[in-house]
Structure 1
Amino acid sequence: MDKDSMLTHILQSEGPASLLGGQSPVTVINGSQHISPLTSGGPEARGPDGEADSGRPSLDSAIRTALSEGTKTVVLEGPDGSGKTTALQRLVVGWARGRNLQNFSFVFHFGLGRLNSLGGALSLEALMLRHHGHLLPGSVPQLLQDPEGVLFVFDDLDQWRHSLDPSALPHLCSDPGEEAPVSRLVAGLLHGSLLRGASFLVATRPAEGQKFPSGARLQVLGFLKPQREAYMEGFFSADPAAATTARRHMESTLGFYDICTSPRFCWTVCSVYKSLMDAGAKLPETLTQLYVEILARLIQSLQLNEARSRALVSALGKMASHCLLHQHSSCTKEEMDSFGFGQDLASVGVFLRVDGDGPVFSFHSQPMLEFNLATSFLLDASAAEGVEELLERHRGRADFLDVFLTGLSEPAQRRPLEAPLGELDPGRVADFARWFRSSSEATLKGRHKDQHRRRFHLLLQTQNESLVKEVAAASAQTGIGYGDPTLRDCVALNYVFSCIGEMELLNLYRTRDLTEEQAKALAPAMSLCRKINLSDSSLSPGAVPHLASALSGGLTEELDLSHVRLGEEEFRRLCEGLRNCKLRVLKLLACELTEAVCGDLASALTSGAAQLREMDVRFNPIGDRGFVKLCKALQSPLCRLQELKLQKCELTAASMEALMSDRCLLTELDLSLNNLGQEGALLLCHALRRPGCPIEKLSLSRCELTPPVFRELSSALRGGTSRLKSLVVGLNAVGDEGVKPLWEAVAHPNCVHEDLDVEMTGLTDECARDLCAALRAGGALRSLELRNNSLTDASVPALVRAAQDSDSMQEMNLQYNDISEDVFDVMDECGKIRY
C-alpha cells in the first residue's frame, strides 16, 4: 500500500475546529503538545470522581501494547470527547509515517456512522475501494491473501444502527468476493468469519444492549488532573496564571468535575474561558451558564432572526428527545425533516456532527443534547407535557436534563441566551420553579441519600442563596449525611452549607477515600458544622491539613474519627487544627495511635484556645509512656478535659500514679480492659480519697481487680469526700465476698453513688441478703447492673421487694443469670426489673 497516499487521504479528510466538536484530530495530531488520554483495563479501575493513580498507561501505549502482543480485537470504550477518535487516527498516521504498528502491511480506517446510509450489496473489496480511493490498483487481492497483516480501525461503533448479534442475521459472510449488505460485511469481519486472521481496533461510547466483539477491553479515562494541567498550560502558554484559573474554575466551580475528563470538553471550556477573559467578563458559575454561553454564540453566528432561531432550537429539542428515547446517537435526513429543521438544515453543522454522504446527524456530546432539550422545553409552551412528564419520559436516559432545567429557570443564568432567542416562556419557567421548590422540600425530608445528593447538585445550579436557605432550612437542624462523596458532591455541599451558614451534622461515615481535592472543596462546609462524623473512613494524607484548617477557627464542636488510620505526620497536622478550635468532643477510638503522637495531642490539649472536654482514645496502643504524656496535659491549668476514655490502651500500674494531680479536672475516666492489677487500682483508689478529686464516673471493667481493691473502693465511697456517682467494675471475678464491701458502701449515708455495674463478677444467691439490706438502707443508688452472674430463682423475690421498697432505685438488670421462666411473673410485678 502507498503509505504516502494513505497519509494524505487522512490528513485532508478532516474539517476545521468547532466550538462543540473541538479541534479536529488532525490538528491535535500535528500539534507539538499532544497529550494522550489515560486508560485502564476496565471500569473497576476508575476511582472516585473518575480519577485514577498516576500509573495508568496512556491510551496510545495501551493500544500499541495490546496489538503487539497478538490481541486480535481491541475495544476502546469511553464517553463523548474522551479522545478515542484522535487516538485512532494518531495511530493510523503513525503507521503511515512508519512510527508504529509496522507489523501490519495494511491499515484501514472506517467511521461506522458514515456507513449506516449505504444501501445495496457490496463485496468487501468494493467497500474498501469505495472508502479508500487512494488504494493502488491490485492491492486488495494482495491483502486478502495475507489477512494476518491487515488491521481494521472501526470508529463510532455506538452509531452503528445494525445488529451485530449473529443470531439476528441470516448468516455471516465468509467469502470476500460475496456481495452482501454492509451490515453483514461488518458483522462478518468483527465476528471473524470474513477475512479470518485480521486484527480490529474498535472505538465506542457505552451503549445499552450493544453486542461488543470479544477481545481486550480498554476503558478510556480521558484526562486526569496531571493531563488537564499540562493541557491547559499549553492552551494558555502565554499566561500561566490564566491556565491555573481556568483549570481550577472548570474542575470545581462548574460543579461537574467528572466531565472535565473529556479532552474535547477541556478544549471547549478553554476556548470559551479565553474569550471571556480577553473581554474582561465573568466566568460562568455553573454548567448551565457555560452551555448558555456556548449556545448563544452558535445561534448568533448564524445571524438568524428571532423566529427562525426559536424554530431551530425547537427542532434541536425534538431531535434530542428522539435520540434519548430511541437510544440512537445519530439521525437520518428523513428524521431531521420530521423534526422541523426545514430550510435551516444546511446550518446545523454549527450545532451537530454531520457524517457521510447520506448524511447522518448527531450531537457532539450528551450534555449539549440535553441542554437543547431543556431549552426547547422552556421556550415553547404549546406542548401539553409538563415538567414531571418530561423528566419521567426520559428517566434513566438523561443525566443532565434536570440540571439544565434548574439553571435555566434562574433569570440571571438564562439572560445571555434570551438575546438571540427572545424570552423563555414565563408560564413554563414559573411551573418549573414551583415544581422544583416543592419537590426539593419533599426530597430533603425523605431518607433516600442518592436523591439528597442529586438535589444538592441542583441547588448548586440555581446559584440562588435565598432559595437554598428556604428549601434546605430543615436539613440545617438535622444535618446531612452520606459516605463516599464525589468531588461533585463536595462542591455542591459546600455551596449549600455556605448559603445556610450553619449545619448541625455532616455525616461522612464510611467514606472510603477522602482525597485531598475532596477535602479542600469540603473544608469551608466542614467549618460550618457543629458535628462531623468521619468514623470508619479513609483519609488520604493530603486531606488531613484541610480537615485541620476547617477545625481551626470553625464551628465544629464534635469530631468522630473512630477507626480512621492516621500516620504520625498526619496526626500532627490534625493536632495543629485542634490548638485553636471550638471542639469539645473528640473520638479517636481504634485509630492505631501510639505513644509517639501523644505528645502532639497533649500539646493541643494545653493550648490556650483549646476547648476540648471529652476525648475517646479507646483501643489505641499508647501504653504507659503515652498515657504519662497525656497526664502532663491533664495537670496543666490550661487543659479543660473532663472525660477521658482509655479502654484497652495497654496501660499497667506503672502509669497510674500520673491521675493523682491536684490540678486534674477529669470527671469521667474509663480505664477498662487494661491490666492495672492490684497495684495500679490501689493508686487510683488513693486518688479518689483525695479531697476535691473531681472524678464522678470511673470504669474499671476487666482490669484484673482483686478483693483488696474492692475494699479500698468501698472505703473511698464511704469517706465523705468522694464525688464518685458511677462505678463500673464488671468482668472482675472476685465473687460474693469480693463485692461485699461495695454493698456496705451503698448502705452508708456518706455514699452519693448512683450507678453501679458489677456484671460478671461471680455473684451467687449468697450476696442477695447483703445486697437487699444495702438497697433498703441507702438512699442514692438508681441503677444496678447484675447481668451475667449466677443468681437463681431463689434470689428473685427478695431482689424484687428490695427494688420496690427503694425510693431511689430506677432500674435493676438481671439479664443472663440462671433465672427460669417460673419467676417471670414475680419480676413483672416490678417495673424497675429488667430480665
Structure 2
Amino acid sequence: MDKVDILTRILKTENTSTILGGQSPASVINSRKYVPVTVDAQDDNLGFLDDAIRTVLCGETRTVVVVGPEGSGKTTALFKLVVDWANGECLQNFSHVFNFQFSKIGSSTDELSLETLIQQGQLQMPPNFTRLVTEEPDGVLFVFDGLDEFKHSLDPSSHTLTSDPYHLVSVSCLLASLLHGSLLKGAAFLVATRPTDGVKFLGGIRMDVLGFQKPQREVYFNNFFPDPTAASEAFLHMERTLGIYDFCASPRFCWTVCSIYKRLIDSCTKLSETLSQLFVDILVHLIQSLSLNKEHSRGLVLALGRMASHCLHYQHSSCSKHAIDSFGFEQSLTSVDGFLRVHGEGELSFHSKLMQEFVLAVAFFLDPSTHGDAEKMLDNHKGCSKFLDFFMSGLSEPVQYRLLEDLLGKFSSDQIKCFKSWFKSRSEKTLKKYNKSEHYRCFHLLHQAQNESLVKEILNPPAHPCIFHENLSLQDCAALNYVITCLGEREKLSMSRTAILREMMEVLAPSVSLSHTVILSNCSIHKDSIPLLASAVSMGVTTELELSHSNLGDEKLDILCAGLREAKLHGLNLNVCGLTAACCDNLAFLLTSGASHLQILQMMFNPIGDQGFAKLCEAMHSPNCRLQELQIQSCNLTAASMEAFASALCSGQSQLTKIDFKGNMAGDSGVEALCKALRQPLCKLQSLGLFDNGLTGACCSSLKEVFMSEHCSLSELDLSLNSLGQEGALLLCHGLKSPSCPIEILNLTRCDLTTAVFEELGSVLKNGTCQIKSLLLAINKVGDQGVKYLWDALAHPNCLLEELSVEMTKLTDACVEDLCAALRASHTLKLLELRNNSLTDAAVPAIVQVMKEKQNMKELNLKYNDFSEDALQMLDTCHNIRY
C-alpha cells in the first residue's frame, strides 16, 4: 500500500468522536498524545502492545493475533503501527502494508481475488503490482481489524483453499487461503479482534490486550486536561471511585470519563461517586446534546431500553435496521448516533455494553408495563448482563435519578417500591446463607445505592456483628468498606486468602480503623500496603491484629513494627509468618515503646531460635514492656533460651503470666534453669506449656521443688508428650501434695505413666489441700485398674476436679460400675473425656441412666468406642453425651 495513500487515508479521515464511541484513531495519532496500551504476550510477560508487535514481526513469526475487549485500544494501536511504517519509523522489513477492516470486506457478496482485494485498499495500483507482491511475499504485511465482526468461517476445512492470486473466490475462502498460507505463502498477518471463536482458526502468537494500567491512565488524564490541577483531581477521583473496575483499563472508557469529568469540573459540579451516578451524568449529557423535548427524550430512552433488552436476552451484539423498527424509534432514529454505531451489513449496536445495560435499567423505572417486576426483569436477562442490578440499585435512589426525571419525566414510584422490596427481601435471605459471592453482590448493590439507612436496615448490627471474607478483589473491598463505614464501629473484620495490594489497603483503611479485631490470616500482604495497614490500626479502635499464615517475613514485619509504635494494640498474632531472629530487634523495640499496650504476642512456627528469643527476653526487662502472654511454640528454642527467659522472669519488671514453649527442645537442663526462676518471689508466671520439649524424669525433681515453694505462682502446667516415666511422675505427685502447691490445671497426656502413678494421683486428689480442677491423662495405657484410683478420687468429697481426660487409656466395660458410682458421688465434675477406649453396648444403659441424673454435667465424650447403631440411638436421648 502506498505510504502517502496510507497517511492520507488514516490521518486525514474525518471521524467524529462520540462520548461513548471514544476518540477516533486519527485524532489520537494527530494529537501526538498517544498512550500505548499494555499487553500480555506470552508467559505472562507484560509490555506495550506496539513494542511487542514490532519485536515479533521483525522476527520469524508471520502471524500475530491481538485479542482484547471493546475499547481496549486495538484499532488505534494498529493504525499507529501502520502510520509509523508509512513514516519510516518501524517495520521497515516490509515493503508493502495493507490495512483492512473485516466489517467492510466481510459485507461484500461478490467473489474476489487477491488482486481485487488489494485494489480495494489502494487509491492507485502501479503496473505489475500484484506480480511484485507475489514474488516477494515475505515483504508483505496484511493488517486486519475486527475479526469478531466477520460473519463467515475461516475454518480451512470448510473451504477449497486457493493459491492463485487471480482466482475469484468468496471473501471467506480468500481470507482463509491467505491466513492459512495457501495463498501468498510467506506473507505476515496482524489480526485484531474482540474475544471470538474465530481466533481458534488462526495460528501464530496471541497477544491479550489489557488496556491502560494505572500509570498509563495517569498519563492519559494528564494529556487530556490542560490544567494539571484538574488532571490530578479527575485522575484521583476516578481511581477512588471507578478504578476498582476492569473496564477502567479501556482507553475508550477513559475518554468517556475524562469528557464527562471535564464538563462537570468546568461547571463546578460535584463528580459522580458511583458507576450509576457516572452513567446518569453521561445520559444527561447525551440527551441534552440532542435538544429533544421531554416526550421525545423519554421515547428515545424507552426505545433504546427495548433494543437493549432484545440484544441481551437473545445474546445478539447487534440488530438489523429491520429489527430496530419494532423498538419504537420512529421519531428519534436520527438521534441515536450518540448511543449506537453502524457496522457490518448495515447493523446497529451499542457503542458501550455498559450503556446498553444502563438504559435498560432506566427503562425499567420509566415503563412498568414492558419490563414487569424486578425479579422478572433480572431473570429475563440472567447470565447475559453483568451490571444491570448495579444500575437498578443506583437508580432506585432519588439522589441519583432526580437529574433524569428533569429530562425524561417521572420514574414509576411503584417500580421503585417493587425493586426496594425485592432487594431488601433478597438481601436478608442472602446474608443468612453465607454464600460468599452472593454476599459480595449484596454489598456491591448497597454501594451503588449510597443509602446509609438502607445498609443499617439490611445489615442489622446485632444480627451481623462480624463479616468474614476471603479472596476479595479490589471491587469487593470497595463495596465491603462502604458497608462497614455505614455500620460504624464493629467487633471484628476478618479476611483470608486475599492478596492485599496497596490499592486494596487504601480502600479498606477506614474499615480497619473501625474494627476492634482485624484478622488477615492466610493473606498475602504486599510490602507497599504494610504502612497503610499500620496507620489504619494506629488511628482507629483496633486492639487485636491477627496476621497468621501471612508469610510476612522479616522485612515487612520491620515496616509494620515501625508503624505500630503508637498503636493501642493489646494482641498481635504473627503465627507462621516466616520470621527469623533478624526481626526480633524491631519486635523488642515495639514491646518496649513507651506507648506500647501489647499484652499478647503469638509467634508460633517462626524459626527465630535462641538468638531471636533472647532479644524478646531482653525486652521483658524493660518497665515499658506490658507483655502478659507469649505463644512461642515450635520456634527452634533450646535450653539456652530457658536461661535468658529465667533471667527476665526474675528481673522484677516482667509482667508475663503465660508462656507456651510447645514443640521446642528445652530439655531437662533448660527446665532446671527455669525452675530456679519459678521459685523466686518476683516471678509472676502462672501458666507454662512444655508440650513435647524432650523432657525426662530427670527434670521432675526441680519441678517438685517449684510445687513446694512458698513463692510459686504457677497454676497451669502442660508436660504432655514427654517421657517422664513412673519415677519422675511420682516425684511430681510428691510436690503436688504440698499444701502450698497452686496447680489447678495439669496436663500429663502421653507421659509414660503407670498404674502406680495413677494410684498416687488419686491420693493427691483426695488429700484435702490439692487445688487441681483439670487433669488430663490421655494416652497413658493403664487400663481399668489404673483409672479405678481416679474413680475412687472423684467420689471423695475433697476432690475438686471439674475436668478429667482418660482418653485412650484402655478402658473396658469392667470399669462402668466404678465410673457410674464416681459420677453420682462427684459434685464438681463437669467434663469427662472417654474417647478412644473399648466400651461396648453393655456399658450404655448404665451410663445413660447416670448422665440423665447428672444435669450439672456439661459433657461426657464417648466418641470412638465400640458402639452399635442401637447403642448410639440410646446415647442420643441424653443431651450431655457426645458420641
TM-score w.r.t. the length of structure 1 is 0.92
- 1:312·1:341 contact (CA, 8 Å) conserved in 2? yes
Which residue identity is paired with 1:777?
A: N
1:445 deviates by 2.3
Residue in structure 2 matched with residue 285 of structure 1 by the alignment: 273
In structure 1, how many angstroms separate the alpha carbons of the residues matched to 2:818 and 2:317? 73
Change (3 A) 1:192 1:440: farther
SS of 2:332's equivalent?
A: helix
Which residue identity is paired with 1:228?
A: R
Comparing 601-610 with 264-273, which one deviates more in the overlay?
Answer: 601-610
Residue in structure 2 matched with residue 809 of structure 1 by the alignment: 801
Residue in structure 2 matched with residue 421 of structure 1 by the alignment: 408
Which of 74, 78, 82 is matched with 1:84 structurally?
Answer: 74
1:448 deviates by 1.2
In structure 1, how many angstroms separate the alpha carbons of the residues matched to 2:467 and 2:818? 43
Change (3 A) 1:78 1:650: same
User: Is 1:241 paired with 2:222?
Assistant: no
- 1:809·1:832 contact (CA, 8 Å) conserved in 2? no
User: Is 1:25 paired with 2:16?
Assistant: no
Residue in structure 2 matched with residue 495 of structure 1 by the alignment: 482
5 Å-filtered alignment, 1:110-189, equals 110-130=100-120, 132-136=122-126, 138-144=128-134, 146-166=136-156, 169=158, 171-172=160-161, 175-189=164-178
1:218 deviates by 0.6
Change (3 A) 1:599 1:681: same
User: Is 1:784 paired with 2:784?
Assistant: no
Comparing 695-704 with 474-483, which one deviates more in the overlay?
Answer: 474-483
Which residue identity is paired with 1:415?
A: R
Which of 625, 631, 635 is matched with 1:639 structurally?
Answer: 625
Which of 388, 395, 398 is matched with 2:375 structurally?
Answer: 388
SS of 1:784's equivalent?
A: strand
User: Is 1:267 paired with 2:221?
Assistant: no
State the superposition RMSD in angstroms. 2.7
Which residue identity is paired with 2:519?
A: N
- 2:500·2:526 contact (CA, 8 Å) conserved in 1? yes
Residue in structure 2 matched with residue 707 of structure 1 by the alignment: 697
Which residue identity is paired with 2:802?
A: Q
Change (3 A) 1:745 1:581: same
| 1:304-327 superposed Cα distances (whole Å, 9 cap, x missing partner) | 122221221122222222332333
1:564 deviates by 2.7
In structure 2, how many angstroms separate the alpha carbons of the residues matched to 1:212 and 1:256? 34
Residue in structure 2 matched with residue 519 of structure 1 by the alignment: 505
Identity of aligned residues (%): 47
User: Is 1:553 paired with 2:539?
Assistant: yes
Comparing 220-229 with 144-153, which one deviates more in the overlay?
Answer: 144-153
Which of 93, 99, 106 is matched with 2:83 structurally?
Answer: 93
In structure 2, how many angstroms separate the alpha carbons of the residues matched to 1:245 and 1:611? 40
SS of 2:598's equivalent?
A: coil
Residue in structure 1 matched with residue 65 of structure 2 by the alignment: 75
In structure 2, how many angstroms separate the alpha carbons of the residues matched to 1:310 and 1:327? 25
- 2:576·2:604 contact (CA, 8 Å) conserved in 1? yes
In structure 1, how many angstroms separate the alpha carbons of the residues matched to 2:407 and 2:537? 48
| 1:731-752 superposed Cα distances (whole Å, 9 cap, x missing partner) | 2212111111222344444333
User: Is 1:456 paired with 2:443?
Assistant: yes
Residue in structure 2 matched with residue 473 of structure 1 by the alignment: 460
- 1:256·1:287 contact (CA, 8 Å) conserved in 2? no
1:625 deviates by 4.1
In structure 2, how many angstroms separate the alpha carbons of the residues matched to 1:315 and 1:682? 87
5 Å-filtered alignment, 1:405-420, equals 405-420=392-407
1:297 deviates by 0.9
In structure 1, how many angstroms separate the alpha carbons of the residues matched to 2:246 and 2:801? 60
In structure 1, how many angstroms separate the alpha carbons of the residues matched to 2:164 and 2:315? 33
Change (3 A) 1:339 1:125: farther
In structure 2, how many angstroms separate the alpha carbons of the residues matched to 1:386 and 1:162? 39
Change (3 A) 1:453 1:108: same
Structure with greater contact order relative to length (CA < 8 Å, sep ≥ 6): 1
Change (3 A) 1:252 1:78: same
1:434 deviates by 1.5
Comparing 537-546 with 33-42, which one deviates more in the overlay?
Answer: 33-42
In structure 1, stretches of 5+ residues that fail to align are 46-54
In structure 1, how many angstroms separate the alpha carbons of the residues matched to 2:133 and 2:812? 90
Residue in structure 1 matched with residue 714 of structure 2 by the alignment: 724
- 1:6·1:134 contact (CA, 8 Å) conserved in 2? no
- 1:255·1:457 contact (CA, 8 Å) conserved in 2? no
Deviating 4+ runs (over 6 angstroms): none
| 1:601-642 superposed Cα distances (whole Å, 9 cap, x missing partner) | 233223344322211112223334433432343343433321
1:133 deviates by 4.4
Residue in structure 2 matched with residue 770 of structure 1 by the alignment: 760
Which of 376, 400, 413 is matched with 2:363 structurally?
Answer: 376
Which residue identity is paired with 2:775?
A: L
- 1:159·1:329 contact (CA, 8 Å) conserved in 2? no
In structure 2, how many angstroms separate the alpha carbons of the residues matched to 1:135 and 1:507? 69
- 2:784·2:815 contact (CA, 8 Å) conserved in 1? no
In structure 2, stretches of 5+ residues that fail to align are 824-830, 836-883
Residue in structure 2 matched with residue 48 of structure 1 by the alignment: none
| 1:680-721 superposed Cα distances (whole Å, 9 cap, x missing partner) | 322322322233643221111233334353222223223344
Change (3 A) 1:229 1:613: same
Residue in structure 1 matched with residue 203 of structure 2 by the alignment: 214
In structure 1, how many angstroms separate the alpha carbons of the residues matched to 2:186 and 2:324? 40
- 2:284·2:403 contact (CA, 8 Å) conserved in 1? yes
1:650 deviates by 3.5
In structure 2, how many angstroms separate the alpha carbons of the residues matched to 1:797 and 1:208? 76
In structure 1, how many angstroms separate the alpha carbons of the residues matched to 2:143 and 2:462? 53
In structure 2, how many angstroms separate the alpha carbons of the residues matched to 1:643 and 1:316? 66
- 1:481·1:506 contact (CA, 8 Å) conserved in 2? yes
- 2:696·2:725 contact (CA, 8 Å) conserved in 1? no
| 1:210-240 superposed Cα distances (whole Å, 9 cap, x missing partner) | 645232111111111221122222222x422
Comparing 669-678 with 798-807, which one deviates more in the overlay?
Answer: 798-807
Comparing 64-73 with 121-130, which one deviates more in the overlay?
Answer: 121-130
User: Is 1:684 paired with 2:677?
Assistant: no
5 Å-filtered alignment, 1:314-393, equals 314-355=302-343, 358-383=345-370, 385-393=372-380
Change (3 A) 1:812 1:602: same
In structure 2, how many angstroms separate the alpha carbons of the residues matched to 1:174 and 1:338? 46
1:21 deviates by 1.5
| 1:280-324 superposed Cα distances (whole Å, 9 cap, x missing partner) | 111111111111111111111111122221221122222222332
1:666 deviates by 1.6
User: Is 1:229 paired with 2:218?
Assistant: yes
Change (3 A) 1:153 1:826: farther
User: Is 1:430 paired with 2:397?
Assistant: no
Residue in structure 1 matched with residue 828 of structure 2 by the alignment: none
- 2:697·2:723 contact (CA, 8 Å) conserved in 1? no
- 1:476·1:504 contact (CA, 8 Å) conserved in 2? no
User: Is 1:56 paired with 2:42?
Assistant: no
Change (3 A) 1:803 1:116: farther
In structure 2, how many angstroms separate the alpha carbons of the residues matched to 1:220 and 1:98? 25
1:816 deviates by 4.2
Change (3 A) 1:135 1:269: farther
Which residue identity is paired with 2:585?
A: G
1:170 deviates by 6.1
Which residue identity is paired with 2:453?
A: S
1:537 deviates by 2.0
| 1:505-528 superposed Cα distances (whole Å, 9 cap, x missing partner) | 2222222x3111211221111111
In structure 1, how many angstroms separate the alpha carbons of the residues matched to 2:700 and 2:551? 37
Which of 722, 726, 734 is matched with 1:736 structurally?
Answer: 726
- 1:323·1:329 contact (CA, 8 Å) conserved in 2? yes
TM-score w.r.t. the length of structure 2 is 0.87
SS of 2:341's equivalent?
A: strand
SS of 1:736's equivalent?
A: helix
